[in-house]
Structure 1
Amino acid sequence: MAELVYRPVVGAALTLFKALDLKIDTQGSENIPRTGGAVLVSNHISYLDFIFTGLAALPQKRLVRFMAKDSVFKHKVSGPLMRGMKHIPVDRTAGEHAYKHALESLRAGEIIGVFPEATISQSFTLKSFKTGAARLAQEAGVPLIPMALWGTQRVWTKGRPRNFKRSHIPVTIRVGEPLEAPADQYAGAITRRLRERVQELLEAAQRAYPVRPKDANDTWWVPAHLGGTAPTPAQVKEAG
């Protein structure tokens, strides 16, 4: 039933990306298992990250069910689509139901997509990771699949107008090898290793990115530590 909604939405997204002439470079999709449950974990720099994360699983013929804040499910446009694709709403004041839903889906052989930073990183660097992804993988007995996105912030991110012009923006996607989550290990330690893997993939994606800022007015999407004018994590925190 869900695929009656999910696949047309994927098709529409691919049509949009083709119209925008986005240059999508994906490597490592073979690390996503063709069968069985897994927790797919990505950095979060754009409102469209769930779409690009899902695209990474398509070569393996897998559909990803994402955990997303419940306000997205209440929107008059996105709500019916999110429910139809069987994504999982998360009420941040009472997340037990979402956790149980995700756990049942993993045990049923689904891939669950998680952004462990919880919100978009406005510095475009990795924030701290919550332990939920690791705990889900431990309890369900499935692997964690780390991945990283780069360039999606140039299409549509927090605090910036969306760029839905034919802009030829490159998007780089890197998927890493599975990380086991043994039940007898501390979830915090697994989460630290997971974050290190995502950081490595993010740096690889940044090195592979085929363009640099055109001029001094085009450095907003580059992190401060790489010479750009994106706010530092400290500045983002101070701004509240």
Structure 2
Amino acid sequence: MAELVYPPVIGVAHTMFRAFDLRIDLAGSENIPRKGGALLVSNHIGYLDFVFCGLAARPAKRLVRFMAKKSVFDHKISGPLMRAMHHIPVDRADGVHAFQHALKALRSGEIVGVFPEATISRSFTLKQFKTGAARLATEAGVPLLPMAVWGTQRVWTKGRPRNFSRSHIPISIRVGEAVHPGADEKPGKLTLRLRDRIAELLGDAQRDYPDRPKGPEDSWWLPAHMGGTAPTPEEARD
């Protein structure tokens, strides 16, 4: 398919990264296959996670087709861009159509990106995963590529003002080895296995992260179990 919009958008994103002086630490990009279908699966802590997840596929010269809620496609600005980049709209009232769309893309050799928590985690910890990614990978016969991002919540996340300044924020991106569906493995079991792997990657990214809050007022982006003031998972469900 013609890629008239996606490459220029990537160029704009790179320009933004330089303008904000984001310090991007990417590890594991060699795990992204250079050809063939695959399902990229990441945690979700900020509105720009898809940008950073897509960045991880660039060393392999791959473009990622992200599944995103239909309202993003309905927006007068983001909608035309999302459609031109061949991303996949998800209407929660008609999930079958999105599933079939993603399945077709995977079988045609595309990389599809999903956030199995479905929404941004306000606690910045892993929420429960939906089983759709496991079912997609199993039916398409493609590997799952586990990924974790950290630091993206400091740029733009739910309930916080955007920080589009020259902030020098570190962004950590970790890509793990492919997770292959087992023969006759149930979607629930595969989902738990995938979530455990992403939890490991997220833990690695958090331990290696070079920044710490500068004081109590700056600890909002750190999970409660790490001494921060982000909502606990229980509070975040309210």
TM-score by length of 1: 0.98
Q: Shift of residue 183 of structure 1?
A: 5.0
SS of residue matched to 2:4: helix
Q: Shift of residue 44 of structure 1?
A: 0.1
Distance (whole Å) between structure 1 residues aligned to residue 153 and residue 187 of structure 2: 30
Pair 1:208 & 2:212 matched: no
Q: Shift of residue 182 of structure 1?
A: 3.0
Residue pair 1:139, 1:183 contacting (<8 A) in 2 also: no
Distance (whole Å) between structure 1 residues aligned to residue 164 and residue 183 of structure 2: 44
Question: How many residue pairs end up in the alignment?
Answer: 238
What is aligned with 1:143? 143
What is aligned with 1:16? 16
Distance (whole Å) between structure 2 residues aligned to residue 237 and residue 44 of structure 1: 15
Q: Which amino acid aligns with 1:156?
A: W
What is aligned with 2:221? 221
Q: Shift of residue 215 of structure 1?
A: 1.0
What is aligned with 1:122? 122
SS of residue matched to 2:203: helix
1:152-231 pair list within 5 angstroms: 152-231=152-231
Residue pair 1:45, 1:122 contacting (<8 A) in 2 also: yes
For structure 2, the 5+ residue unaligned runs are none
Distance (whole Å) between structure 1 residues aligned to residue 89 and residue 155 of structure 2: 24
**Measured at CA, do residues 171 and 46 of structure 1 come closer, stay the same or move farther in structure 2, by a change above 3 Å?**
same
Residue pair 1:2, 1:86 contacting (<8 A) in 2 also: no
SS of residue matched to 2:54: helix
Q: Which amino acid aligns with 1:61?
A: K
Distance (whole Å) between structure 1 residues aligned to residue 173 and residue 35 of structure 2: 21
Post-superposition CA distance 1:58-81 (Å, at most 9, x none) = 000000000000000000110000
Distance (whole Å) between structure 1 residues aligned to residue 184 and residue 138 of structure 2: 8
Q: Which amino acid aligns with 1:103?
A: L
Q: Shift of residue 99 of structure 1?
A: 0.2
Residue pair 1:2, 1:85 contacting (<8 A) in 2 also: no
Post-superposition CA distance 1:121-178 (Å, at most 9, x none) = 0000000000000110000100000000000000000000000000000000000000
Post-superposition CA distance 1:189-219 (Å, at most 9, x none) = 0000000000000000001111100111100
What is aligned with 2:88? 88
Residue pair 1:56, 1:173 contacting (<8 A) in 2 also: yes
For structure 1, the 5+ residue unaligned runs are none
What is aligned with 1:26? 26
Q: Shift of residue 181 of structure 1?
A: 1.0
**Measured at CA, do residues 47 and 107 of structure 1 come closer, stay the same or move farther in structure 2, by a change above 3 Å?**
same
TM-score by length of 2: 0.99
Residue pair 1:88, 1:98 contacting (<8 A) in 2 also: yes
What is aligned with 2:57? 57
Distance (whole Å) between structure 2 residues aligned to residue 117 and residue 150 of structure 1: 15
Distance (whole Å) between structure 2 residues aligned to residue 38 and residue 159 of structure 1: 32
Taking every aligned residue pair, what percent have the same amino acid on both sides? 71
**Measured at CA, do residues 15 and 139 of structure 1 come closer, stay the same or move farther in structure 2, by a change above 3 Å?**
same
Q: Which amino acid aligns with 1:96?
A: V
Q: How well do the aligned residues superpose, as a CA RMSD in angstroms? A: 0.7
Q: Which runs of 4+ in 1 moved over 2 A?
A: none
